[in-house]
């Protein structure tokens, strides 16, 4: 048990941004950008293979260098393989982008299903974006926090899925990519802000303070 008024130091902002930004770039932004560039310049199939090739390269590089594979990269690559198969089979950009839209609903369901686990899915994914100390993740109040905040993120993904589905059925591929990307990241940013506020509130109730950066060396 953690004692009241304990201070836990997290890595610096730069370290946190690198830790969170690399998985996000590898798993989402770069494959999406590659698809769009190759789709507009060389055709639909080129976009499919470009996005999938990047994800395979990202995983292969980490395996060769013996680095940890982020859960978000593994999950996104498995889903991207399924999307590519459907895209090649149907030759339709609509069905290719329908899958990540539907995946919002699937992910929301997964968050709800894992609420009964010792560590729900959201807590495991959080490790990819911020390396929390074990003393913090094992605290009973923090465990309860991740179970409760999973409900918030299930709602975020449900709203995101419904919004992107409406855009996909009414807009062109280019407009869909622009609107859905901006809308999705706005929803995610709002969810992150609410989660951080909730997280700090949960810690304050236990007398736990978070500080960014390493503690000052003792004199």
**Tens digits of pLDDT across the chain (219 residues):** 444 455 665 655 556 566 666 667 777 778 888 888 888 888 888 888 988 888 888 888 888 888 877 777 787 888 888 888 888 898 888 888 887 788 888 888 888 888 877 777 777 776 666 656 665 666 667 778 888 888 888 998 898 888 888 888 888 877 777 777 777 778 877 887 788 788 777 776 666 666 665 554 444
For residue 11, which phi and psi values (nearest 5 degrees)? -60, 165
> With left for phi above 0 and alpha for psi between -120 and 50, is residue 5 left, alpha or beta?
left
Angle at 34 between CA 106 and CA 157, to 5 degrees: 20
Q: Structure pTM?
A: 0.66
Q: 214 CB contacts (<8 Å, ≥6 apart)?
A: 9, 11, 12
Please give the Cα distance from 151 to 138 (Å, whole number).
20
**Which sequence spans correspond to the domains of the chain?**
6-212
Look at residue 128 in the predicted model and tell me its pLDDT: 61
| pLDDT tens, residue by residue, 75-104 | 788 888 888 888 889 888 888 888 778 888
Residues 205, 144, 101, 25, CA torsion sign: positive
| pLDDT tens, residue by residue, 50-59 | 888 888 888 8
């Amino acid at each position: 048990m953690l004692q009241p008024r304990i201070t836990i130091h997290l890595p610096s902002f730069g370290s946190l941004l690198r830790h969170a930004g690399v998985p996000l770039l590898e798993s989402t932004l770069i494959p999406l950008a590659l698809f769009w560039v190759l789709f507009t310049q060389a055709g639909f199939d080129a976009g499919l293979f470009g996005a999938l090739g990047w994800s395979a390269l990202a995983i292969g590089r980490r395996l060769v260098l013996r680095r940890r594979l982020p859960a978000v990269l593994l999950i996104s690559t498995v889903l991207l393989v399924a999307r590519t198969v459907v895209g090649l089979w149907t030759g339709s950009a609509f069905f290719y982008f329908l899958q990540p839209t539907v995946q919002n609903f699937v992910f929301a369901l997964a968050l709800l299903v894992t609420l009964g686990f010792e560590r729900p899915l959201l807590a495991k994914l959080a490790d990819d974006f911020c390396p929390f100390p074990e003393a913090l993740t094992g605290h009973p109040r923090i465990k309860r926090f991740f179970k409760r905040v999973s409900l918030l993120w299930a709602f975020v993904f449900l709203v995101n899925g419904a919004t992107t589905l409406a855009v996909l059925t009414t807009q062109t591929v280019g407009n869909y990519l622009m609107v859905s990307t901006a809308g999705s990241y706005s929803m995610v940013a709002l969810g992150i802000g609410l989660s951080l506020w909730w997280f700090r509130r949960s810690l304050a109730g236990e007398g736990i303070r978070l500080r960014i950066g390493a503690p000052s060396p003792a004199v």
